[in-house]
């Protein structure tokens, strides 16, 4: 235990010394990693907010089943009962042809005179179907719609599918793009950290040689460098997080119109504490991995 504490103390001191020893290299690496993480984080924010919107839309999702013309009241009640038994359906509200006309009339308000010339009621009877909470997603909606489709008496099912599916496709595309960008930037970060550590190893080759001569173990030599990469990654991620927050605060009001078009009245949100932790942890992990890679590559020579 004491040995571990002494070694950790040495490793921490050596890592700090290493970071201070070449402030320009350290600074450039920090800024470059931070910029990469800002880009990854920006994509993350976009995807998170779009996903949030889709989730909120999902909560309001309902299916309207328009019924065949001339369906009797008895068949309507039977169909409503049958629909109620479909898995994923929470409640079914029956709207007769008369109810539909009345609702339409109410919606027209002052222009209700438009309906005066109608010789017959053109509106179909319908069932307003709400979903159980677990089904309130695009996928869940599709399952329920497939179960309802083909039930006798149902003419057409409407659930705003075009908008929902289009939005889900856009989200999936942005998420895919985000993952691609994150992978490329993670690789770039690995290379940056790896090269910074390689420079540090080169600058301290005398120290490494002497440590080896006096009996330092491989881990004793390497842990300070791993710690250096880890620290660089963590600091860069914190910088990126700060920068993202500043950008979020500055850009949100000036892009209000665009955001409203994209998200409706929902206001954009910043990362949750857990997501922030994930971003910082990713930076730290990539930093440590970059320095480990520098040693693996160095070890092969």
Partner 1 sequence: MRREPPVTDPFVRMYHVSKSYMAGTFALHDVSLEVDRGEFVFLTGPSGAGKTTLLKLLFAAERPSEGQIILRGRNITRLREYGIPALRRRIGVVFQDFKLLGHRSVEENVGMALEVRGTPPREIRSRVFRVLKQVGLQHRRYHRAEALSGGEQQRVALARALVNDPELLLADEPTGNLDPELTLEIMDLIASAGARGTTVVVATHDLSLIDRYAKRTLHLEAGCVKRDAGAAAISA
Site residues (CB under 8 A) for partner 1? 2-3, 6-7, 9-10, 206-207, 209-218, 220
The residues, ordered by sequence, that sit 6+ positions from 292 with a Cβ below 8 Å of its Cβ are: 226, 229
Q: Which is nearer to partner 1, 14 or 48 (CB)?
A: 14
Helix spans in 204-254 (H): 205-213, 218-254
Q: Which is nearer to partner 1, 70 or 299 (CB)?
A: 299
Rounded least distance, CB 15 to partner 1, Å: 14
Rounded least distance, CB 29 to partner 1, Å: 22
Q: Which is nearer to partner 1, 174 or 211 (CB)?
A: 211
Helix spans in the chain (H): 2-21, 23-60, 73-84, 97-108, 138-148, 161-203, 205-213, 218-254, 256-263, 273-300
Q: Which is nearer to partner 1, 8 or 177 (CB)?
A: 8
Nearest Cα residue to 227 out of 203, 193, 195, 274 = 193
Rounded least distance, CB 216 to partner 1, Å: 4
Q: Which is nearer to partner 1, 27 or 212 (CB)?
A: 212
Rounded least distance, CB 230 to partner 1, Å: 21
Q: Are 125 and 56 in contact (CB under 8 A)?
A: no
Rounded least distance, CB 209 to partner 1, Å: 7
Nearest Cα residue to 100 out of 81, 74, 126 = 126
Rounded least distance, CB 222 to partner 1, Å: 13
| Residue 210: exposure state from Cβ atoms within 10 A (0-12, 13-18, ≥19) | exposed
Give the three-class secondary structure for 129: strand
Size of the chain, expressed as the number of residues it contains? 301
Q: Which is nearer to partner 1, 10 or 285 (CB)?
A: 10
Q: Are 155 and 124 in contact (CB under 8 A)?
A: yes
Nearest Cα residue to 95 out of 73, 114, 119 = 73
Q: Are 204 and 17 in contact (CB under 8 A)?
A: no
Q: Which is nearer to partner 1, 212 or 242 (CB)?
A: 212
Rounded least distance, CB 235 to partner 1, Å: 25
Q: Which is nearer to partner 1, 218 or 249 (CB)?
A: 218
The number of CA neighbours under 13 Å toward the Cβ of 20 is: 6
Rounded least distance, CB 227 to partner 1, Å: 16
């Amino acid at each position: 235990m004491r040995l571990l504490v002494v070694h950790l103390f040495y490793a921490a001191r050596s890592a700090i010394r290493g970071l201070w020893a070449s402030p320009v290299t350290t600074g450039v690496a920090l800024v470059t990693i931070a910029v990469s993480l800002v880009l990854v984080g920006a994509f993350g924010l976009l995807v998170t907010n779009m996903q949030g919107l889709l989730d909120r839309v999902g909560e309001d999702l309902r299916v309207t089943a328009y019924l065949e013309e001339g369906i009797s009241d008895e068949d309507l009640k039977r169909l409503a009962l049958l629909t109620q038994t479909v898995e994923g359906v929470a409640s079914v509200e029956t709207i007769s042809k008369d109810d539909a006309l009345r609702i339409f009339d109410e919606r027209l308000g002052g222009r209700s005179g438009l309906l005066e010339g109608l010789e017959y009621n053109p509106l179909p009877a319908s069932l307003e179907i709400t979903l159980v909470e677990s089904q309130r997603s695009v996928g869940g909606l599709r399952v329920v719609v497939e179960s309802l489709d083909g039930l006798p008496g149902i003419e057409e099912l409407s659930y705003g599918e075009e908008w929902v599916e289009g939005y889900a496709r856009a989200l999936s595309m942005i998420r895919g793009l985000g993952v691609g960008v994150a992978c490329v930037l993670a690789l770039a970060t690995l290379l940056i950290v790896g090269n910074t550590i390689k420079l540090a190893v080169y600058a301290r080759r005398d120290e490494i040689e002497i440590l080896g001569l006096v009996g330092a173990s491989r881990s004793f030599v390497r842990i300070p460098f791993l710690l250096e990469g880890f620290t660089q990654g963590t600091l860069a991620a914190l910088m990126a997080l700060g920068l993202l927050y500043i950008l979020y605060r500055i850009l949100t009001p000036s892009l209000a119109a665009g955001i409203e078009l994209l998200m409706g009245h929902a206001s954009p949100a910043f990362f949750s504490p857990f997501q922030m932790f994930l971003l910082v942890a990713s930076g730290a992990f990539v930093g440590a991995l970059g320095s480990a890679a520098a040693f693996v590559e160095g070890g092969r020579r």
